[in-house]
Amino acid sequence: MRYSTVYERLFSQESKPGILVLIDPDKVDRDSVEEIVQKINEHDGVKAILVGTSVLLSDDFDEFVSRVRKVSKFPVIIFPGNSLQVSKNADAFLLPSLISGRNPDFLIGEHVKIAVFLKNSGIEVIPTGYMLVESGNYTSVEYISFTRPIPREKIDIAIAHAVAGELLGLKLLYLEAGSGAKYPVPPEMIKSVVDSVSIPVIVGGGLRTRKDVENAINSGASHVVIGTAFEEDPEILQEVL
Ligand code: 1GP
């Protein structure tokens, strides 16, 4: 690999915007894991595979991550919804702090439970400011995290949270409308946040069409996250980028 870290590979200046495909371990038939990853491998617009979910009902997370990584030609990054979703078998770990909320469990609590494990594992950790944005429906992340999303039109509030995250030393911002969101994060909010910070911003939640993806990328998103639309139709990757 040309880059020494996944972070560099994804966010170096010459890295073009692309897709981070989110695989929810609770939604994948265990007989089709390799086949699904092979499908992802076919698309050069993909930059990485994220693995994670809001709750986690399955009991084979570690093995699941290994299977994905074994076949993937892209880096595999854990994007955990809680402290059960850890494994040494990934290329990197997004450590999200839900900075748009005021629930201490998701700001620091879950992190304390896995911090020493992560450090000892040697896995690359990417400290991420996770910002939930109102999306027109009640999403799993809102329910599970007991946090309220930032109102869609409150761009000033989004900027203030993003800048606070940057000043706290976070290396990445994730603007999230929530899985299956009715409306993605508004382009104006993406643009304002991107213009306010010098760390990369990724965007996800409710992105289903080429237009959705273009809106996010043209607004300055470093990459976009696609989960539900890929689950519903793996060919979507071809269409959106
Ligand atoms: C959820 O942003 C991701 O954390 C992906 O959302 O499932 O709506 O693509 P979708």
> What is the per-residue pLDDT across 19-36, written as a single tens digit (0 to 9) for each?
999 999 999 999 999 999
Ligand 1 centroid to Cα of residue 192, in Å, is 21
pLDDT in tens, 184-210: 999 999 999 999 999 999 999 999 999
Q: What is d(CA 166, CA 199) in angstroms, rounded to the nearest whole number?
A: 7
pLDDT in tens, 41-52: 999 899 999 999
Ligand 1 centroid to Cα of residue 216, in Å, is 14
1 within domain boundaries: no
Q: What is the mean pLDDT of residues 143-153?
A: 97
125 within domain boundaries: yes
Q: What is the CATH number of the domain that holds 155?
A: 3.20.20.390
Strand, helix or coil for residue 167? helix
192 within domain boundaries: yes
137 within domain boundaries: yes
166 within domain boundaries: yes
Band (pLDDT 50/70/90 cuts) for residue 241 is confident
Task: Give the predicted TM-score (pTM) of the model.
Answer: 0.97
**Residue 147 belongs to domain spanning:** 6-240
Ligand 1 centroid to Cα of residue 81, in Å, is 12
Average pLDDT, the chain: 96
Chain position carrying tokens 């299977």: 67
Q: What is the mean pLDDT of residues 61-78?
A: 98
Cβ-based neighbours of 1, under 8 Å, separated by 6 or more: 9
Q: Considering the chain, what percentage of its residues have pLDDT values greater than 90?
A: 95
Q: Which of 176, 185, 224 to mutate to test the pocket of ligand 1 (most atoms within 8 A of CB)?
A: 176
Band (pLDDT 50/70/90 cuts) for residue 3 is confident
Q: For the chain, how many structural domains are there in total?
A: 1
Burial of 47 (0-12, 13-18, 19+ CB in 10 A): buried
79 within domain boundaries: yes
pLDDT above 60 for 1: no
